A and B are shown apart, each in its own frame.
Chain A
Amino acid sequence: KAGVTQTPRYLIKTRGQQVTLSCSPISGHRSVSWYQQTPGQGLQFLFEYFSETQRNKGNFPGRFSGRQFSNSRSEMNVSTLELGDSALYLCASRSGTGVSYEQYFGPGTRLTVT
């Protein structure tokens, strides 16, 4: 079974631009979560989608948004990029939304904002 895939793997953007990242979950997984990883703040939860609906949301500004499609693929968008948005963005999928779960992470998209 193929793992979680994320595209692109690397991205360089300029401050003020916007960016869209893509995530394809493991086949059959309907829940997709997004995380931001930085050396200073560690792993921080952005949001979770299940069946095209945002189920949970972390403490990030409205510039960070996401969506999920009917095939469970997900995208996240960051508008008006700031230097502090430079990070590794990780996507994870799981089969449901229960309390006992295993998340499977993709390799991440490395975003650099200049």
Chain B
Amino acid sequence: DAKTTQPNSMESNEEEPVHLPCNHSTISGTDYIHWYRQLPSQGPEYVIHGLTSNVNNRMASLAIAEDRKSSTLILHRATLRDAAVYYCTHKTGNQFYFGTGTSLTVIP
């Protein structure tokens, strides 16, 4: 079974950068790494995805390790609206695997 692990929780001060790590040790060479976030009482929301090189979009940046066994989601300036549970995920074979999720608290 694929193993995707994340820290249970992290804190950040408002307007400071946040680095959310994920270890996906059993990912294969062609599996994209995806990140989603989930607010209370809502379904997960797409954040970003990538394969090998670093990726940027309006929400965040994704840094992928050279061996692809880990990745880091970067929120450049955390806001109160970024408080959520963040999940890394990938599809390997015919299965979608989600990490355990990191609950991000943003401190005003």
Hey, which bits of chain A sit against chain B, CB under 8 A?
A: 4, 33, 35, 42-45, 48, 55-59, 90, 92, 99-108
A57–B95 CA distance with the chains assembled, in angstroms: 7
Q: Knowing A42-B98, A42-B101, A58-B95 touch, does A102 contact B32 (C-beta < 8 A)?
A: no
Tell me the minimal C-beta distance from B68 to chain A in angstroms.
Answer: 14
From the candidates B30, B91, B98, name the one contacting A44 in the complex (CB within 8 A): B98
User: How many B residues have CB within 8 A of the partner chain?
Assistant: 24
Nearest first, the 6 closest Cβ-Cβ pairs linking A and B are: A105-B43, A43-B98, A56-B94, A45-B96, A102-B46, A105-B44
Q: How many angstroms between the C-alpha atoms of A55 and B95 in the bound complex?
A: 10
- Closest-by-CB residue of A relative to B101 is A42
| Residue contact B94 to A57, C-beta cutoff 8 Å | yes
Indicate if the CB atoms of B43 and A108 lie closer than 8 Å: yes
Please state if B43 and A100 are interface contacts (CB–CB under 8 Å): no
Which residues of B have CB within 8 Å of A90?
Answer: 43-44
* C-alpha spacing A43/B4, complex, angstroms: 12
CA distance A10 to B45 in the complex (A): 20
Chain A residues whose CB sits within 8 angstroms of the CB of B97 once the complex forms = 45
The verdict on B14 contacting chain A, using a C-beta distance below 8 Å, is: no
Most A CB contacts (10 A, CB to CB) among B41, B44, B87, B99 go to: B44
